[in-house]
A and B are shown apart, each in its own frame.
Chain A
Amino acid sequence: MLGWTALGAAFVIGFAAAAVVLDLDRQVRARFDGTRFRVPSRVYGAPAILYPGLDWRRFGLRDALARLGYREASSSQDLPPGQLVWEGSRIRVHLRAFEHPTRPEPARDIAIILRGSAISDIREVPAGRSVGAVLLEPEPLGAYYGPVREQRELVALAEVPEHLIDAVLAVEDQRFETHSGIDFRRIAGAMLANLRAGRVAQGGSTLTQQLVKNFFLTPERTVRRKLREAVMALLVEARYDKDAILEAYLNEIYLGQRGSTAVHGVGEAAHLYFGKPANRLSIAESGLIAAIIQSPNGISPYRDPVRATRRRNLVLELMKQQGRLDARGFEQARNEPLRLAAVTPETGDARFFLDLLYRQLTETYTPAQLTEEGLRIYSTLDRRLQHIASEVLRDGLQDIENRRPKLKTDDPARKLQGCLVVLRPQTGELLALVGGRDYRFSQFDRCSQARRQPGSVFKPFVYVAGLEPRDAEPTITLASFLDDSPLEIATPDGPWRPRNFDGKYHDRVGVREAIERSLNVATVRLAREVGLRNVVEVAQRLGIESPLPAVPSLALGTAEVSPLEIARAYATLASGGVRPETQAIEDVVDRGGGVLARRELRFQRVLDAGTAYLATSLLEGVAERGTAAGVRAGGLRGPIAAKTGTTDEERDLWFVGFTPDLIAVVWVGFDEPRSVGLAGSAGALPIWRRFMEESSGGTLRGAFPRPAGIERAEIAPSTGAIALRGCPEHRTEYFLPGTLPSTFCPGGDGHEAESIQRGFLRWLRDNL
């Protein structure tokens, strides 16, 4: 009877054990045969370019190289890639190779010759040949993590240097090639050592067991867990060959931290500690990586270089003892000083930009692809401009609160907010974007996700509609006058009486004065004269996508739009009427090196170049004499076209300004609209000004190009007539062909001859 019971019990136990083993086997196969590693996709900024003439101090060359992990060496003798030497007025730097399937850059040893704050020449070493421009590697901006914040760069076993494999096996599992998943000799040795030490001083796990533990199990030290680990290790060894297990281990093993991100695998560790791919590690560097497996944070070479070096030398010693390293190689590696890459923490400057990019990418890729497939996403972001934008927005909002202490609050949800977006107008590249005050408290991007009333920054679209020839004739020229007297418009909600900001009216104002002083009544009249539908059509053509109801108040910017839309529409003016497609991504590369997406620069002429120039000229006047004149307060020199905007009760403060090279839009306000108590010129303008001052060094380049065909003439500002000799007042003004004023100052037939003479001279100028 007892025999049957025992047999029955044994059968049940055997059946249960078999079920457990089968379940463990299923888990092993699922992991090994499926996606073994989830690799977050990484995003990079645009590569910085160094060229003769660049102001290296303002560019922040030292910081840029440090962020890329370049390390200062003591001598320029045999300078390896990733290192540099400052030699007085010369920087010797061995640029690393940039690996990319279609636009790779080789490693390049160069000397950057400095003269004052400018780069005077860049020469190849040792050839001495002068090179026009060199590219730094794109800077990492961040990554798209899944539920776990860990980063790894997958490496194939064939790419891992033999000495790194030897170093890992020497210290972690010297009989890896021969055991079946469990090394009983090692377990016995570890038990003996632990008994002697009176504590857990040595582990007995093989690589396979460590891999199983990391893949499937929790770190708890229980007998049950150890048993599962042992069974699974045996299953792994039975099903997969040693190379597959070793490759999985080398990619899985935890090897330290980069800020809040866990670094896994030797590929990522090689970048973290030495700023290079795993296949370029030296024997000593391989020894160090193997050394820190035991306790990546405790033996971190950044935290305790002496301890790390001691442990590295122990690994090298083990390699020699086990015949994996000869005596010469051992001596050489042991004497190699610890040369670590500079620490490159993720700064978090670009998180709003990363989110915007994520939203764009999810139109094409699944979230799982972005968090697990290790894509490399190269963006258009300019790391330097982004950093400046983040700083000036933060400081600018703080400054507003200091000026108006009532606005201060400890409640993050009610804090004053702002955003700053920067585009390159000719190409539409998004160069910088800061969507809010502090990403930690609010991830809502006020540049691309918020829709706010633009106020007066909408007005230029009304003037463009007026200046654009319709039925051959434009509604206005820059010599025209507008009626700014009190106005009442019947609307379905009753009569609407637009008012000017200062509550005053003017019977007759010049077009320039109307926009420079941002007069509401004159602008509403112009919009009605042009046709509200035409104003809507122009705004949409320039780049506004939000709905724009054709109502009279539209002219004063009551239809809600995003700051990014405003930036795009003004970019069309800045680029001479050619609308670029906004671009944030250069290309997307998959783990196998395939290019999944590549940007195409796309342009469309949506406005005559002459009309765009006249509108730009008006906005230059706003920056010189009008509501935006404060842009020059800090001494900023060079061409600026700009417009301020303030909505009712000062709820939204705007500033849009562009130069021939950049357009930047600043918005300031509360998420739940309430009064800031300042105008756009006092709240948003200083932020824009500081951004331009810091990014340009105080001098803006170039000029707004005047298209051929635009006529230049002297006019009498008070009448808009052509100013002839003897006219008491003069102002230079610009006109589309055939739109010159037909009256003269002083008036009368006696001046006809002079006008003919001027016309002839103009013909000569234009045709010879």
Chain B
Amino acid sequence: MAARQPLTAVLVALLLLAAGCVGFSPTHTPRVSELASGGDDLFRASQRLVLEGLEADEHGDRPRARSRYERALQIDASNPWVYLALARHYVEAGESSRALSHLDRAEALLESQETESPGAKIHCDGLRGAALELEGDHAEARALLDSAARSAPGVWGDGELSASELR
């Protein structure tokens, strides 16, 4: 009995540690560049165009950015990251309804392709919060933005997702 007590204590400690890790450590939010080498040829080419779009957004060249995202869709219209990048683009432009429409698409694809990582979900929630903020739905927006900030303070701490943070 005595021998089993330390073992139980160790197990309890490990469980607590695991719970702590799950509950409090920041979640890694994926970047498009990390995903640019996976998938098939079409996905990779599409991701390269998303990267070019994000780069254009970083430099304030919005028309070029949008054009790049649209070409990315032309190659692979099932790539959820294009819709996510477009949603971010529209949030930045203050066009909330377009942002929400693209977010729906991104979430549906992430979900159906079983690629919904916790990090991607944080981006979706954060962007939805930012879009709802623009729409004037402050309560719902605050909850989503706070949740994103808690999960990924390094990225969502300021309540925004810049093009470079997604790139």
Contact = CB atoms under 8 A, between A and B. Distances in A.
A476 B5 CA distance: 55
Contacts of B112: 576, 609, 613, 705-708
Interface in B25-75: 40-42, 44-45, 47-49, 51-52, 63-64, 66-67, 70-71, 73-75
Contact of B67 (A52, A103, A601, A603): A103
B114 interface: yes
B71 A49 contact: yes
B98 interface: yes
Interface in A550-585: 576-578
B94 to A, nearest CB: 15
B146 interface: no
The interface size bin for chain B is 20 to 34
B116 interface: yes
Interface string A399-426: 0000000000000000000000000111
Interface in B113-154: 113-114, 116
B7 to A, nearest CB: 24
Contacts of A425: 77
A701 B42 contact: yes
A605 B112 CA distance: 14
A426 B101 CA distance: 13
B15 interface: no
Contact of A609 (B51, B71, B111, B116): B111
Interface in A677-708: 701-702, 705-708
A576 B41 CA distance: 23
A103 B105 contact: no
Contacts, number: 98
B104 interface: yes
A47 B109 CA distance: 25
B108 interface: yes
A429 B74 CA distance: 9
B153 to A, nearest CB: 26
Given A578-B104, A708-B112, A54 B41 contact: yes
A103 B45 contact: no
A600 B98 contact: yes
A132 B43 CA distance: 11
A578 B105 contact: yes
A707 B51 CA distance: 27
A622 B93 CA distance: 45
A487 B25 CA distance: 64
Interface string A31-66: 000000000000000110101111000000000000
Contacts of A602: 101
Given A578-B108, A705-B113, A707-B111, A53 B44 contact: yes
B78 interface: yes
A102 interface: yes
A133 B45 CA distance: 6
A759 B39 CA distance: 33
Contacts of A660: 78
A530 B156 CA distance: 47
Interface in A590-616: 600-605, 609, 613
A124 interface: no
A12 interface: no
Nearest to A577: B108
A605 B41 CA distance: 29
Given A609-B108, A609-B111, A102 B48 contact: no
A427 interface: yes
Interface string A425-446: 1110100000000000000000
B78 A51 contact: no
A218 B78 CA distance: 59
B64 A52 contact: no
B44 A52 contact: yes
Interface of A: 46-47, 49, 51-54, 102-103, 131-133, 135, 424-427, 429, 576-578, 586, 600-605, 609, 613, 660-661, 701-702, 705-708
Given A705-B114, A708-B112, 4 more contacts: A133-B75, A429-B74, A578-B104, A600-B98
Interface of B: 40-42, 44-45, 47-49, 51-52, 63-64, 66-67, 70-71, 73-75, 77-78, 86, 98, 101-102, 104-105, 108-109, 111-114, 116
